[in-house]
Amino acid sequence: MDHNVLARIAAVIQSSSVQGWLVIDRDFNVVHANEAYCQLWKTEPDEVIGQCILNLFFNGKKQDERGQYVGPLVETMDTGREISLMEVCVTNNYHEANIWCLANTYILRDAEGRMEYAVGTYLPIDKFKVIERRLDSINLNIIKAFCKAIGVRDAYTKQHSESVAYLMVELAEFMNLSPDDVTKAYLAGIVHDVGKIGVPEKILGKPGRLSDEEFEIIKCHPVKGSEILAEIDGLGTVTNIVRHHHERYDGRGYPEGLAGEDIPFLSRMLSICDAFDAMTSKRCYRDPYTTTQAVAEIRRCAGLQFDPQISESFIKFIRGQFKQV
Ligand SMILES: [Fe+2]
């Protein structure tokens, strides 16, 4: 696909490379599928690019018998409405796999303002659903309400939280952690930036460098987040993980300047997953890193910002997910 179009896509969507992206034109033909998408659908770009998604996945139909759209991307191209954070169960006709995904759609317009492309982003959430079944439903609902509250103020943080939760769960399983730790890893990923609720929107979305004063305000979010979470029964360890997710292995982080193994293990994991997702996402102040560049940065910072052993496991895990790295 034309590099300029890809750059325009990256400029409108805030999902990182962890999420699968599928781009269609006005005729519902696929013009781009990123690597995460191909991994998710166990397909190759040549199998989907140039194909009409209606024929590929939906037997040529836009709507089912009840008049419901067959999928968010089809709906967006047909109606011109963007969709955010919709849980969808997607079926791949080729491989007969059903995957629960969190989907967002975006519209790209041409110079005259007409719809040119529609982009769908997909994050697999099957494992989230399994974990959620193990949790107390009242606490879970409280947590989800918090997440919604952040999402309303700051779309980036909401998407980022889900992507970080995905990376945390996958990494925890890759490292053979216990089911209990996988659950904590998930929760910590979802709620880690909840303290940003106390940060003014003009600072969260500021393009360019933050002043020292603004940075001091941002730096309060791990402690604020842990104070909010402390109100919920049963979140004791998660509270502590969130409190320390901006500590650095070399002791130069915040809020307490803890170093090495004094930092909770899951906080050390979280700081890597958080940084990786932030680097590979488009932010208002810079273009996204490629997966390869982000991995190189994790390697460069291993032993300084990040735990060297967890960094090594993370890089192995990402290499298993993305062939190109
Ligand atoms: Fe954070």
- CATH code of 203's domain: 1.10.3210.10
Walk across the sheet containing 97-109 and list its strands. 30-33, 20-25, 115-124, 97-109, 86-92
CA of 159 to the centre of ligand 1 (A): 13
CA of 17 to the centre of ligand 1 (A): 19
At residue 95 the predicted structure's pLDDT band, cuts being 50, 70 and 90, is: low
Q: Which residue has the tokens 């963007």?
A: 82
Cα Rg of the chain (Å, integer): 20
CA 320 to chain centre: 18
- What is the three-class DSSP state of 207? coil
CA of 34 to the centre of ligand 1 (A): 27
CA of 62 to the centre of ligand 1 (A): 40
CA of 157 to the centre of ligand 1 (A): 9
CA 39 to chain centre: 16
Domain termination site, one of 73, 96, 124: 124
Question: Tokens representing 175?
Answer: 């490292």
Question: Tokens representing 172?
Answer: 């925890």
Q: What is the pTM of this model?
A: 0.86
Same domain for 300 and 156: yes
What does the alpha-carbon distance between residue 28 and residue 318 come to, in Å, rounded to a whole number? 31
Q: Which residue has the tokens 């700051």?
A: 154
CA of 303 to the centre of ligand 1 (A): 20
Same domain for 310 and 188: yes
The neighbourhood of ligand 1, an ion, using CB within 5 A, equals 193
What one-letter code names the amino acid at 65? E
CA of 323 to the centre of ligand 1 (A): 29
Same domain for 29 and 173: no
User: Going by DSSP bridges, is the β-strand pair 30-33/20-25 parallel, antiparallel, or unpaired?
Assistant: antiparallel
- The pLDDT value given to residue 291: 87
CA of 153 to the centre of ligand 1 (A): 15
**Residue of 201 and 249 predicted with greater confidence:** 249
User: Has residue 59 got a pLDDT over 80?
Assistant: yes
Same domain for 279 and 182: yes
Same domain for 281 and 174: yes
CATH number of domain containing 70 = 3.30.450.20
At residue 295 the predicted structure's pLDDT band, cuts being 50, 70 and 90, is: very high
User: Has residue 93 got a pLDDT over 60?
Assistant: no
User: Has residue 270 got a pLDDT over 90?
Assistant: yes
Domain termination site, one of 98, 124, 150: 124
CA of 33 to the centre of ligand 1 (A): 30
At residue 198 the predicted structure's pLDDT band, cuts being 50, 70 and 90, is: confident
> What is the H or E stretch that residue 244 is in?
none
CA of 138 to the centre of ligand 1 (A): 25
Alpha carbon separation from 177 to 91, 171, 174, 265, 305 (Å, rounded): 30, 9, 8, 11, 22
At residue 38 the predicted structure's pLDDT band, cuts being 50, 70 and 90, is: confident
User: Has residue 5 got a pLDDT over 90?
Assistant: no
- The pLDDT value given to residue 179: 93
CA 323 to chain centre: 19
CA of 201 to the centre of ligand 1 (A): 15
Same domain for 301 and 169: yes
Domain termination site, one of 91, 107, 124: 124
What one-letter code names the amino acid at 93? N
User: Has residue 188 got a pLDDT over 90?
Assistant: yes
CA of 191 to the centre of ligand 1 (A): 10
CA 125 to chain centre: 11
Lowest mean pLDDT of 35-39, 72-76, 226-230, name the range. Answer: 35-39
CA of 150 to the centre of ligand 1 (A): 13
Same domain for 120 and 144: no
CA of 152 to the centre of ligand 1 (A): 17
User: pLDDT digits over 218-264, tens only?
Assistant: 999 999 999 988 888 778 889 999 999 999 999 999 999 999 999 99
Task: Tell me which DSSP letter residue 261 carries.
Answer: G
- The pLDDT value given to residue 232: 82
Q: Which residues, including other chains, have CB under 8 Å from residue 4's CB and lie 6 or more apart?
A: none
CA of 179 to the centre of ligand 1 (A): 24
The tally of domains found in the chain comes to 2
Same domain for 248 and 148: yes
Question: Tokens representing 275?
Answer: 């940084």
User: Has residue 94 got a pLDDT over 70?
Assistant: no
Mean pLDDT of the chain: 87
Same domain for 238 and 98: no
> Are 90 and 98 contacting, i.e. CB atoms less than 8 angstroms apart?
yes
- Which residue range forms the structural domain that includes residue 89? 3-124
Same domain for 131 and 61: no
- The pLDDT value given to residue 1: 64
CA of 223 to the centre of ligand 1 (A): 10
User: pLDDT digits over 144-167, tens only?
Assistant: 777 777 766 666 666 788 899 999
Same domain for 192 and 64: no
Average pLDDT over residues 108-124: 91
Question: Tokens representing 21?
Answer: 């992206």
Orientation angle between helical segments 137-153 and 179-191, nearest 10 degrees: 30
Same domain for 116 and 245: no
Q: Length of the chain, please? A: 325
User: Has residue 137 got a pLDDT over 80?
Assistant: no
